[in-house]
Amino acid sequence: MSKTNPNQLVETSAELARDAVLTVIVIKNRIVDSVRFRGVVFGTAFVIRSDDWGSIVLTAQHVVEDLQPGDTLRVRTMLQSGVRELSASVLYEHRWSDVAILSVPGLRNVRQLTFEPSVLNSDSVIGVGYANPIDLFPGIEMACKRIPDLSPGSVVSTEYVGLYQGVDVTFVHLEMVGMRGMSGMPILNATGVVAMLIEGEGAYSTAVSYGTVFQVLKAYLKIRLRHHMDAPVDTMTMEQVLDALH
């Protein structure tokens, strides 16, 4: 299927996923050489667990790296009319895979995305993310869309990178447009999330695989449950890991 004529089942999957996709906004307030500096970083995140206690979301680690006291981390979610902006915090970062896990306590009982472990070369996929190109609105520091964009494409290949901090890192190479602000967006096929975008350049993008994301979630859970020696994290399924996150 081409970018202009994506697989209809995949397109439906992506349209339904929009409610679970968020804008990540990082405002960095720094003083450099006695001069106050303010910078804004944008990314995309998606909900993987949501209940009465709030939501757990995933994004690209480079979007939230190097946060310091005085910086602000927020997510923005669309409503039927308007948007809602909420505070977030970083639970865990795995720099080598470029995956970060965030907590959003104020985002309760919303749509959450499911994962699909199987992906093959030439598979039709669509990314769902918030593009925010540089100079899209000249003179305006921060302009966020209400509805995320759909970026159709296909899987080109997978690449095993290596074992880093206990996680086997595998990248998925895509023929798909990825723009500034889309880092962290879910890549979906007809049945769920197969990868998460970490980099885009022109017509080609790179994502981190389902398997790597799964291992990062397990690595975080092992830290959380380190005092429970009988916790069988290594043998847990994805569903069990997600249930244990809250």
CB atoms inside a 10 Å sphere around CB 3: 15
> What is the reported pLDDT for 95?
96
Q: Can you tell me the distance from the alpha carbon of 18 to that of 146, in angstroms, rounded to the nearest whole number?
A: 10
SS3 212: helix
Element (H, E) at 219: helix 210-224
Cα Rg of the chain (Å, integer)? 18
> What is the reported pLDDT for 31?
73
Q: Can you tell me the distance from the alpha carbon of 24 to that of 45, in angstroms, rounded to the nearest whole number?
A: 6
Nearest 5°: CA angle at 22, between 87 and 49?
Answer: 80
pLDDT higher than threshold 90 for residue 132: no
Percent of the chain surpassing pLDDT 90: 70
Per-residue pLDDT tens over the stretch 42-67: 999 999 999 999 999 999 999 999 89
Rounded mean pLDDT of 21-47? 86
87 to 30, 90, 147, 185, 196: CA distances (angstroms): 19, 11, 19, 19, 22
Q: Can you tell me the distance from the alpha carbon of 246 to that of 181, in angstroms, rounded to the nearest whole number?
A: 28
DSSP 56-88: EEEEEHHHHTT--TT-EEEEEEE-SSSEEEEE-
Give the HSE-up count for residue 203: Cα atoms under 13 Å, Cβ half-sphere: 6
Q: Can you tell me the distance from the alpha carbon of 225 to that of 206, in angstroms, rounded to the nearest whole number?
A: 32
CB atoms inside a 10 Å sphere around CB 240: 12
Domain 18-104 has CATH 2.40.10.120: yes
> What is the reported pLDDT for 1?
45
> What is the reported pLDDT for 229?
61
> Which of 216, 169, 166 has the alpha carbon at shortest distance from 59?
216
Per-residue pLDDT tens over the stretch 183-205: 999 999 999 999 999 999 889 99
At a CB cut-off of 8 Å and minimum separation 6, what does 84 contact?
76, 77, 78
> What is the reported pLDDT for 14?
95
Hey, which bits of the chain come out as E strands? 21-32, 35-51, 54-60, 72-78, 83-87, 89-94, 99-104, 124-129, 149-164, 167-175, 186-188, 193-201, 204-209
> What is the reported pLDDT for 143?
55
Indicate the length of the chain as a whole number. 246
**Is the pTM value of this prediction over 0.85?**
yes
pLDDT higher than threshold 60 for residue 142: no
Higher pLDDT, 137 or 42: 42
Higher pLDDT, 80 or 47: 47
> What is the reported pLDDT for 133?
65
Residue 31: exposed, middle, or buried by beta-carbon count in 10 A (0-12, 13-18, 19+)? exposed
Residue type, 139: G
Percent of the chain surpassing pLDDT 70: 91
> Which of 209, 197, 117, 198 has the alpha carbon at shortest distance from 168?
209
pLDDT higher than threshold 70 for residue 5: no
